[in-house]
Amino acid sequence: MAAFAALSYAIATVSPLPEMSFATALTALSANFIGGLAPDIDQPTANLWNRLPAGGVWSRILSPVLGGHRFISHSLLGVILFGFGLKFLLGAMSSVVLVDMNIVWYAFMIGFISHLITDTFTREGVPWLFPIPINFGIPPFRFMRIKTGGMFEKSIIFPGLMILTAYIYYAHYGRFLDILRKIIN
Ligand SMILES: [Zn+2]
């Protein structure tokens, strides 16, 4: 939800928004969704893995490598590695797929970074400076932060993000309509 809210905000405010095809818009939307889940590949119980075929097997193979809970993929180093890795991957694909990979890359990274920012508000915090083993959080006192999967997250944060996203669409509705018209044509 945070990934989608951030993407919506970017679409509403980035000016001028590049022209894009329907295929690009759809791919970018998927990339944003995957980017929002991707940092959790370092958690064996990650949502991401449950959505993939044989995900359980992969998570058992990868989680010892990636660390366990909130490690490298929850850090600036992870952002850089994923950013470069994806750039390379998309670059290799761009000769075969007719999609604007630049836009797809931004959509993924917006999802990825918004995940890390959201996690920063949780009790566990985020090891932004991995491999330095310090978890950072906002607010700095652990007890003031949100419990992952807890009542506050479900009853306040999630609906709050939904309302925020709805508001972004409402406030910039002319622009979204314009973009939609361009994409479909
Ligand atoms: Zn996470």
On whether residue 115 sits in a domain, the answer given is: yes
| 34, amino acid identity | I
Question: 43 CA to middle of ligand 1, Å?
Answer: 8
Number of domains in the chain: 1
pLDDT of residue 62: 63
HSE-CB at 67 with a 13 A cutoff on CA atoms is 16
CA 33/CA 86 separation, integer angstroms: 15
Q: Residue 107 contacts by C-beta under 8 Å, 6 or more apart in sequence?
A: 7, 28, 29, 31, 32, 35
- Name the residues around ion ligand 1, CB cutoff 5 A: 39-40, 119
On whether residue 13 sits in a domain, the answer given is: no
pLDDT of residue 149: 81
pLDDT of residue 165: 95
CA 27/CA 22 separation, integer angstroms: 9
Tokens 């920012």 correspond to: 117
On whether residue 161 sits in a domain, the answer given is: yes
CB of 38 within 8 A of CB of 153?
Answer: no
Tens digits of pLDDT across the chain (185 residues): 999 999 999 999 987 888 889 999 999 999 999 999 999 887 765 556 666 677 667 666 665 555 557 888 999 999 999 999 999 999 999 888 889 999 999 999 999 999 999 999 999 899 999 989 899 999 988 888 888 888 888 888 889 999 999 999 999 999 999 889 988 87
CA 127/CA 103 separation, integer angstroms: 28
pLDDT of residue 47: 57
| 152, amino acid identity | F
pLDDT of residue 121: 92
CB of 39 within 8 A of CB of 78?
Answer: yes
On whether residue 72 sits in a domain, the answer given is: yes
pLDDT of residue 146: 87
On whether residue 52 sits in a domain, the answer given is: yes
CB of 31 within 8 A of CB of 108?
Answer: yes
CB of 100 within 8 A of CB of 21?
Answer: yes
Question: 25 CA to middle of ligand 1, Å?
Answer: 25
On whether residue 12 sits in a domain, the answer given is: no
pTM of the full structure? 0.85
89-122 as b/e: b if 16+ CB within 10 A: ebeeeeeeeebbbbbbbbbbbbbbbbbbebbbbb
Question: 41 CA to middle of ligand 1, Å?
Answer: 8
Question: 54 CA to middle of ligand 1, Å?
Answer: 21
pLDDT of residue 65: 57
Question: 114 CA to middle of ligand 1, Å?
Answer: 10
Question: 39 CA to middle of ligand 1, Å?
Answer: 6
pLDDT of residue 5: 95
Question: 169 CA to middle of ligand 1, Å?
Answer: 26
Question: 118 CA to middle of ligand 1, Å?
Answer: 8
On whether residue 11 sits in a domain, the answer given is: no
Structural domain that includes position 86: 2-6+18-184
pLDDT of residue 44: 60
Question: 136 CA to middle of ligand 1, Å?
Answer: 13
